Structure 1
Amino acid sequence: MHGPGQKYLLSAIAGLVILLGSHVGFCADAAAFKTATAEYTFLSGYGITHRGFGATRTQVQTFDNIARFGWFLSDEAGSGWYRGRHELLMELPLHLAVDPKVRTMTGGYLLGSWKFTSPEDFVPYVLAGGGVLFVDLGLPTMGSRLDFSYQGGTGIQYFIAKDTALSFEYRYHHISNAGTASPNEPLNSSKILLGITIFR
């Protein structure tokens, strides 16, 4: 990892370390999560495309910001290690490209998530979904500014208070115009996201 986006990731990591440091010796449990009806999350982080993965040829680095609202669809279900809760996630992303040009991508995502409830003080989860993006990257290889995204990933939420958790997330992220225009170079990337979640 190198280039302009690295400083954004390092800044995000430093912020997380400061937050964790301020709560050393304190560990809240995840009881509030098990009865919550909704969550409010803000995530920030770094993304980079994988040149040579699929038809991706262009390196794009991004500083990512995502506002998320989550609505729990179930109480605890299942048993054993996979016991958890279904959640519907609605996200408003702002992806600020910092390489090769300073440009923006924004739109909306709808994802499904399964959050595991067996740990006592943290919540692992998986998610997948997609959405629509307005892509203003100035790349002639993408063929269209109206693009589509699908993505999937995993993360963990560590509780620092009764209803507040730090979030750490990795996701694979795909953008293309889904064959609606030509050319159609996809952007296949990885994103590392850090943030804070409040449960209600």
Structure 2
Amino acid sequence: MLRRHLIVAASIFAVFCGFTGEKLLHAADSPLASAKGELGFLTGYGISHVGFGATKSQVQTWDAILRGGWFFSDELGKGSWYQGRHETLFELPFHLAVDHGGRSMVGFYALGHWRFTSMGRIAPYILAGGGPVYVDLGLPSMGSRLCFSYQGGTGVQYFLDKTTALNMEYRYHHISNAGTASPNEPLNSSKFLFGISWFY
């Protein structure tokens, strides 16, 4: 049922962008062209994939992520398909395991983003990064409560105005103890996230 709701939400978002797409594709300036940084909040659903790699445990999570970001470049590649800006984001994630008695995971992520800026109010992006995660899932197979995450994904932002954007994002998300303890079952998961960002 939850997956169906996610598909419906994504479809509505796509249709909404489609209705405004022609105007936005011809916008002269991206709202990101002069932004210095970003503050935002994401929430959504995650699920581990049993059988993917060495993952044996299913963990479903409700995710809440606070983020802050800074742009480290002006627009690069103007006039090319990859026109965009580099941003570094720092995130404070909280992952509530809804199918493990309300146990949770908290951490700190540093992510590199490339934000495409040639489509006006629509800003696709790609991301990759990771960081330490404290895991309290009660799974002896993970070997340690101090774990590490790496992740990568893609998303799109739709700007409501020059400073406010809606986010829709997919991430591949990996957690393991990086060989610091035995056993070392990883959690290889997908995360479907939605949120809002404010740019300054």
The TM-score range, normalised by the shorter chain, is: 0.7 to 0.9
Structure 2 counterparts to residues 50-61 of structure 1, below 5 A = 50-61=49-60
Structure 2 counterparts to residues 15-34 of structure 1, below 5 A = 31-34=30-33
What is the aligned partner in structure 1 of residue 178 from structure 2?
A: 178
- The separation in 2 between residues aligned to 1:155 and 1:31, in whole angstroms, is 17
Partner SS for 1:141: helix
Partner SS for 2:65: strand
Q: Is the 8 A contact 1:48 1:191 kept in 2?
A: yes
- The separation in 1 between residues aligned to 2:42 and 2:81, in whole angstroms, is 27
**Consecutive unaligned residues in structure 2, runs of 5 or more:** none
Partner SS for 1:59: coil
Q: Is the 8 A contact 1:59 1:100 kept in 2?
A: no
TM-score by length of 2: 0.87
**Consecutive unaligned residues in structure 1, runs of 5 or more:** none
Deviation of residue 10 (structure 1)?
3.8
TM-score by length of 1: 0.87
What is the aligned partner in structure 1 of residue 167 from structure 2?
A: 167
What is the aligned partner in structure 2 of residue 85 from structure 1?
A: 85
What is the aligned partner in structure 2 of residue 46 from structure 1?
A: 45
Q: Is the 8 A contact 2:30 2:118 kept in 1?
A: no
Matched, 1:67 2:66: yes
What is the aligned partner in structure 1 of residue 36 from structure 2?
A: 37
CA RMSD of aligned residues (A): 2.6
Deviations 1:50-99 (A, max 9, x none): 11100001000000010010100000011411010000010000000101
- The separation in 2 between residues aligned to 1:17 and 1:97, in whole angstroms, is 27
Give the 4+ runs in structure 1 shifted more than 4 A: 27-30
Deviations 1:26-54 (A, max 9, x none): x8866331100001110000000011100
Deviation of residue 120 (structure 1)?
1.3
